[in-house]
Each structure stands twice: as C-alpha cells, then as structure tokens.
Chains A and B, each alone.
Chain A
Amino acid sequence: MSSEQIIFYFFAAMVLISALLVVSIHNLVRSIFLFFVTLFSLAALYVFAFADFVAITQVVIYVGGVLVLMLFAFMLSNKELLSKINPVKGIIRVNHIVAILVCTLFLFILLNVIIKADFESLSWIKTADQINGKDNTVHQIGIQTMTRYLLPFEVLSVLLLMALIGAAHLARKEKKV
C-alpha cells in the first residue's frame, strides 16, 4: 500500500469517525468543533481527487465562514441549548432506532447501487482524459469561470448578494410595533 493510499484512508476514516461523533455527541459546542474536523478532513479528500482549489475553497468558506457563523448563531441563542438536548429519553431512543434503521438501509442501497453500477468499467470513464497531478487546476477553473460558466457565476454572485441582504434582514432585531 502506497503512502498515498494510507493518507487517503486515514483522512477518510477521520471524516467518517468525526461525522459520527458530530451526530452522536450531546454537547453542541463539541459537535460543532468536530464538524470543523470533518470539513477539514473532507478538504483533504478533495485534494486526492486532484481538486486543490476546491479544497482551499472548502476550508476558506466552511471553516472560515460557515463554522464561525454557526458559533455566532449558537451563542446568540439561549445558553440553555448547550445542556438541554434529551428531555425524553424513550421517545428519542425509539426515534433513533427507526432513523438508524432507515439510514442503514439507505446506505446499504447506495452502496449496492455504487457496486452494481461499476463506474470504473463505464466507457466514458475509461475513455476520458483524466486530470493528472501535473495540471494546474486553478488555471483551468479560472478560464472556465470566465468563459463557459460565466452566466452561472454572475447569477451566483447576485444570489449571494440576495442571501446576504436576506440574512441580514431576517436576523435584525424586530422593531417593536
């Protein structure tokens, strides 16, 4: 097993374990920080798919933006949320069992589909020219953004503006009527 593979599976394990911890830990603050670990590991996985720019973006936007936002939102809301998670254990347990069953089943189906589809042997995958490690993807993305994906890019910027304004509007203090 090459070092590449070892690192990949290490990060993959990190992703899965931290994600499981995020959803299973009761302490909200801890789970948010574990979420950070997950996203960071995920960014590492992107690198293995030769998407270094995406990985950087992931780190910048998620870790730098989303996570901080979440922490702020969390801190702006009541502190009780820190401790209060499971008022009624029985119901939660039943719900959890059902949810776990459903998710496992879903996972099973997904894996089954992935195996059955056998993407490696698909013709377009075989004939496609793959990105190799020497290509500069940032260069490529820059060109694509300004040519082929210009319209979506502009629309996205407008959308971001709208989201910015909308979020600010929603989050502002309501005037007492």
Chain B
Amino acid sequence: MPVSDIQIFLVLPVVVLPLISFLFIFAGKKLNTENLALFHISVSFLLSLYLFSAIWDKQTFHIQWSWFSVGGTEFKAGILLNNLSVLMMVLVSGIATLVHVYSRVYMKGDPNIHKYWAYLGLFCFSMLSLVISDSLLLIYLFWELVGFSSYLLIGFWYTRDSAARASKKAFIMNRIGDLGFLTGIMIIYQQFHTLDLTLLFAENGFMQTSFIQNAMWVSDTSGMPEIWLTIAGAVFFLGAMAKSAQFPLHTWLPDAMEGPTSVSSLIHAATMVAAGVFLIARIYPVFNPQVLNMMVITGTITAFMAATIALTQNDIKRILAYSTISQLGFMIMALGIGAYSESIFHLSTHAFFKCLLFLAAGAVIHEMHHHRDKLGLDFDFQDIRRMGGLRKRMPLACISMCIASAALIGLPLTSGFLSKDAMLIKTFEWASEQVGILKIVPYLMLLSSALTAFYISRLIFKVFFAKPDVISSPVISAAKDAPKQMTYVLLILAFLSTFLPFSLNPLSYEVSWLWSGFRSVESTQAGFYHQLIPVIVNAISMLLIILAYLMYVNGKYSRLASGEGLLFRVSSGEWYLNQFYSFTFVKSVEKLAELSWRIDRYVIDSIVLSTAAVVRNISDFSRWTDKNIVDGAVNGSGAMVSKAGSIFRMLQSGRLQHYLLSILLILLTFLILTFFI
C-alpha cells in the first residue's frame, strides 16, 4: 500500500482524540465523562489497528512539517511510523481501551471521576504522541508530558498523604532521568545538528556514517572526543532508567502503586514504563559496547534485585510492582546484549499479562475493600495475608490471574514462554562469547526467572488457595466475582496472554510474526541452548511452584516462610534502598541545609546587619546634609526665583497702568531708534 495523504488524517486522530477528550471533559459539563473518554479512546484504538495492518512489515510512513527555526536552523515536527511505533501504538491504545472499560466499574462513584477520565485522556495523548514522534525534541516534550500526567494519576487520591508523596517522588525521580535525556539531546545536536530520528538512526543515517578515528568521534558536520559518544549513550540510558524504573532509580515505582489500580495497570505495567525501553529501541544505534554492557549489568541487577524483593512483600500491588521492575530489567538486559527483537517481543507480551495481573488484583482489591467497609472491619485490604480461599468466590478472576502468572513464569502455551525463553536463549548465546564477570549474567537471569516463579505462585496461592485469615473471613465469604464489564476485560487479556495471538507454534518463538518483525539479521544459530533452556527453566519453575504450594497452602516449612533471617529481612526491607537514599541523599542535604542555615544566621546575617548599620549612619549624615545644605540651596534658589518673579510681576501685573507703561516703553524705544540712531 503506497503512502497516501489519507493516512495523515488517520494518524492524527489516533493521537488527538484522547486530547480532545481531555479538553472536552475539562471544559465541558461533567456528565457522561466515562462514555466520552471511552468513545475517543476506542476510535483511536480502531484507527491504530488499521494503521498497524497497513504499515506492519510493509512500509515506513514519515511526514514532516516545519515547526520553528532558531537562527539558521530549522526544527521539524513530524510523524514517523515504522514497525516499532505502530506496535507501541496498538499496545498503548488497546490496553488503554481495556482499562477504560474496566475503570467504568472500578472507579464508579468516585467524586472526582471526571478528572480521572481527563487525566487518562491526557496520558494517552502524550504516550501515543511520544510513540509516533519523529524527532528527539518532540519525544522529549511528550516524555515530559507523560511524566506529568503520570504524576497527576498517581496523586489522583491527593487527599491521601502517601499518594501525594508518592506522586512527588515519582516526579522527582523522573526528573533525574529527564536531565539525562536532555543532556543526550544536546550532545546529539552538537554532533549532528539535527534531531530528526530518520536522519540520525536510519540505515546509513548520520549515526551509522559517523566513526571513531584517533579517539575522535567524527561525523559529517563536526567531531568531538570519543568519550562523548559513551556519555551520550549513558545519559540517554539514564533517562530510560528513570522512566523504566531500573536500579537504582526504581524506588518510585512501588510507591506509585498509591494510584488507582487501573492506573497502575495502564501506566506502571503496560505503557509508561515501557517508554524507557521504547526510547532505547528508537535510538539504538547511539549505544556503543561500553554503554551496552552497562545496560546488561543494570538490567541484570534490577531483574535479580526486584525478584528477591518481591519474594517477601505482602502488599499485592507491591509484589506486582516489583515483578514489573524485574521484567523491565529483563528487557533492558536483552537490549544490552543486542537481543533487540526479543526485548520488544517481551515488552508486548509483558504488557498484556502484567496488565491482566494488575486488573485481576484490582478486582480482588475492589471486592475486599468494598466488603470490608460494608462489614466495618479494620485491616489492610491489599495485604495478601488477609486473603485466601478466593478461588471459589471469584473463579474467573482466579483463572485469568493463573493464566497471567503462567505467562509471567514462562510456562508453555503462554505468550511469556515464547518471549522469555527467547531472551534467555539469547543471553546464553551472548554469554558464551563473553569473558569475565559477564559470564554470570545468564545464570543470574535464570535465577531471577526461578524467583519469579516462586513469588508469583506465592501470590496466587496466598490469595486464592490458602485458608482465609481469621480476621477477614467474613469478607472472603461475602466476596464474589467482579461485575461483567470488568470480567470481560480480564478474559480478553487472558486470551492475549496465551501463545495464540503471537505465534502458531506454542513452543517456538521463531515463527512468531512479532519477533520476526524486528529481526534484522537472519538467525541461523539453532543451537544447543535452544532446546535446553526452556526445559531447564520450566523444570525449575515447576519445582518452585510446588514448593510454594507446600509452603503457603499446606503450611509446611513454616520456619522458612516466617520472616526470620538476614536475607528475608533484606528482601522485605526492599534492600533498604529507600533508607539508603534517605541516609545518603536526604540526610546529607539536610546537613547541608543546616550548615547553610548556620552560615546564613551567623555570617551573612552579621554582614547584613553591619551593612545596615553603616547604611543607616550614612543615611543619617545624608539626611543632615540634605536638610541643611541641599534644602538650603534649593530653598534659597527658590526664594531668589520667587523674589525675582515678584519684582518682574510688578512690571507685568496685567494692570492698566502697567500696560500703559509698557506701551510707552515701546513707543520710547521706537522714538529713540527713529531720532537718535
């Protein structure tokens, strides 16, 4: 299908419709906001589906307009649609649509519901725009907007103190990354004098044609020391780290769970956190081997750390949040080893099953919350220890959540099996060519994957299979499956978490259309790992699932699960990173502030006071001078003038005799002139 002008009018609505919804809701009446928002996002979704079918694997769509010019440089704004963008577009709008449907029930009765829909519209607008933008500057713009709308949504229940603090934390953490992004943009602009993605990163773009020579990074337009290439990659990666919650900037994500669950599902599982991965994928050629290794290390640490923390958390949403961080670590690591297509593949499968996990958890929380308030009990309705036995009460939620968990673990017949195993296989292949410490990476990833199996089965068993807690048993027995709309959404997502949408062969990712859509080089290495890895992974996972069943359902090995021991405490304390930050950064800032207070109090204040005293004396003196000398001079001259004025006034008073006198004087002058000169 050739590029036609019609497509512009198809692309723009995809982006603009959510914005229109946002504006309408804010400007218009606060009625029927849910239908308005749902309508806009569904149309947007349908359009992006059409665009996906038109563009995927067929062509690249690129259109540009002149935006503004600074000096002689013209900045262009435009739309760039390739496989990556259309995939993200469908992902974002699709999940957003499902979340919209879900939220109609979930958020029902909230007094600020119209704001919720407006913020969702804004978020979708910025996310979709981010995905289709064709220049780094535009991406940066929408990147910030995404951060802002996520801030609004996390702090949606702003009356809760913890929510307000969490939104601030997320915002500030993201600022660190944004600074990196901005620095990267500056370096790129300095080097290439353009921010156009196509010009920079396409085949034979500026990035590819630039080269390293004599420790100089040389391009067509300018050159700079080699180190700047590494720095550019590192700072871009820093931006992605903050957005995708990578260690050590991940701490905002668990706290962001203070927002509504549907929001967590949309933003913090499926779309926004993927923006970091998306950015890396978009500007992939920038990264040189050093930065890629950095990515691998960061990703691995993140994946492992988050998995261990998730083992011991009790808040259902927090577990899922750490699970998300862990999976994002997988993706970043995969990007680092060059498994570009595997990473994107995992990004899309993860988007669905993580969204499902969140929404199912939301359904559970909804019920718990609802009945708790009804029965007037007091306990934490998000605590998995207070749940249990919900399998019979909420069968559909249980089934869908089990499917999602299976996908997360990577059991066969699920989408996760395809993508996760693809990544692990690639990791082993890559590690076989590495030396030194990087050899550990695949084993750590394997361990993380195993831990994933354990913590998610812990969650499932605790929530659905274990015996109900004494305190909350009346609630459990009152609970029932979520309303229809929510359940439909869960079932759709459950279907999307299976292998069917992605591949016809449930056991081989290589036939997956999604994976091959990004594959740049034909992979011929159907090697030894290819059969081995899935088997090992699944074996370990099965073992751990059984272990978890024994521990949490049958109550064996209770000593292990009781929370004793150093490792357990480290894990449940979330590696004490928050405390570490608080100690190193917050405390030192406080110390600094106190120091500056002291300096201010004793040094600056005394300087100011003495200056003030000097000034006061000077002003006293000048007042005296003013009064006696200046005023005297002024008054004296004034008096002189008025005296002179009154003297002249005597002559020119406007009186009859004076007029006569003047006439005579003139006459005299005339006569004198006539007779004597």
Contacts and interface: CB of A to CB of B under 8 A. Distances in A.
Contacts of B664: 102, 106
B668 A98 contact: no
A95 interface: yes
B668 A113 contact: no
A7 interface: no
B672 A109 contact: yes
Interface in A89-135: 91, 94-95, 98-99, 102, 105-106, 109, 112-113, 116
Q: Is the contact region of chain B dominated by helix, strand, or loop, or is it mixed?
A: helix
A144 B140 CA distance: 120
A99 B228 CA distance: 98
B671 interface: yes
Interface string B634-670: 0000000000000100110000010001001100100
A112 B672 CA distance: 11
B672 A102 contact: no
A105 B664 CA distance: 10
Given A102-B664, A102-B668, A113 B675 contact: yes
B650 A95 contact: yes
A106 B672 CA distance: 10
Contacts of A95: 650, 657
Contacts of B675: 109, 112-113, 116
Nearest to A106: B668
Contacts of A99: 661
A98 B658 CA distance: 10
Contacts of A113: 675
A45 B668 CA distance: 29
Contacts of B657: 95
Q: Is the contact region of chain A dominated by helix, strand, or loop, or is it mixed?
A: helix
Nearest to A110: B671
A98 B661 CA distance: 9
Nearest to A98: B661
A102 B668 CA distance: 8
Contacts of B671: 109
A23 B675 CA distance: 29
A122 to B, nearest CB: 18
A98 B664 CA distance: 11
B661 A102 contact: yes
B668 to A, nearest CB: 6
A109 B650 contact: no
Contact of A109 (B651, B661, B668): B668
Contacts of A106: 664, 668
A98 B651 CA distance: 9
Nearest to B647: A94
Size category of the A interface is 10 to 19
Contacts of B647: 94
A96 to B, nearest CB: 11
Nearest to B649: A91
A98 B665 CA distance: 10
Contacts of B650: 91, 94-95
A112 to B, nearest CB: 7
A99 B651 CA distance: 11
Interface string B51-83: 000000000000000000000000000000000
Interface string B165-204: 0000000000000000000000000000000000000000
Contacts of B668: 102, 105-106, 109
A23 to B, nearest CB: 13
A123 to B, nearest CB: 22
A43 to B, nearest CB: 28
A102 B658 CA distance: 12
Nearest to B658: A95
B128 to A, nearest CB: 93
A105 B661 CA distance: 13
A100 to B, nearest CB: 11
A135 B675 CA distance: 39
Contacts of A105: 668, 672
Nearest to B655: A95
Interface in A66-88: none
Contacts of A109: 668, 671-672, 675
A91 B651 CA distance: 10
A76 B671 CA distance: 42
Interface in B31-52: none
Interface in A56-73: none
A99 B672 CA distance: 17
Contacts of B665: 102
A112 B668 CA distance: 13
Nearest to B657: A95
B662 to A, nearest CB: 10
A116 B671 CA distance: 14
Nearest to A103: B664
Contacts of A102: 661, 664-665, 668
Contacts of B672: 105, 109
Interface string B116-137: 0000000000000000000000
A86 B448 CA distance: 120
Contacts of A98: 651, 661
A94 B675 CA distance: 28
B653 to A, nearest CB: 9
B663 to A, nearest CB: 10
A36 to B, nearest CB: 25
A109 B650 CA distance: 26
Nearest to A102: B664
A136 B76 CA distance: 123
B660 to A, nearest CB: 10
Contacts of A116: 675
A109 B672 CA distance: 8
A99 B665 CA distance: 10
A106 B675 CA distance: 12
B656 to A, nearest CB: 13
A14 to B, nearest CB: 27
A95 to B, nearest CB: 7
Interface in B142-159: none
A106 B671 CA distance: 9
Interface of A: 91, 94-95, 98-99, 102, 105-106, 109, 112-113, 116
Interface of B: 647, 650-651, 657, 661, 664-665, 668, 671-672, 675
Given A102-B664, A106-B664, 12 more contacts: A91-B650, A94-B647, A94-B650, A95-B650, A98-B661, A99-B661, A102-B665, A102-B668, A106-B668, A109-B675, A112-B675, A113-B675
8 contacts: A95-B657, A99-B661, A102-B665, A105-B668, A105-B672, A109-B671, A112-B675, A113-B675
5 closest A-B pairs by beta carbon, nearest first, are A109-B671, A102-B664, A105-B668, A91-B650, A94-B650
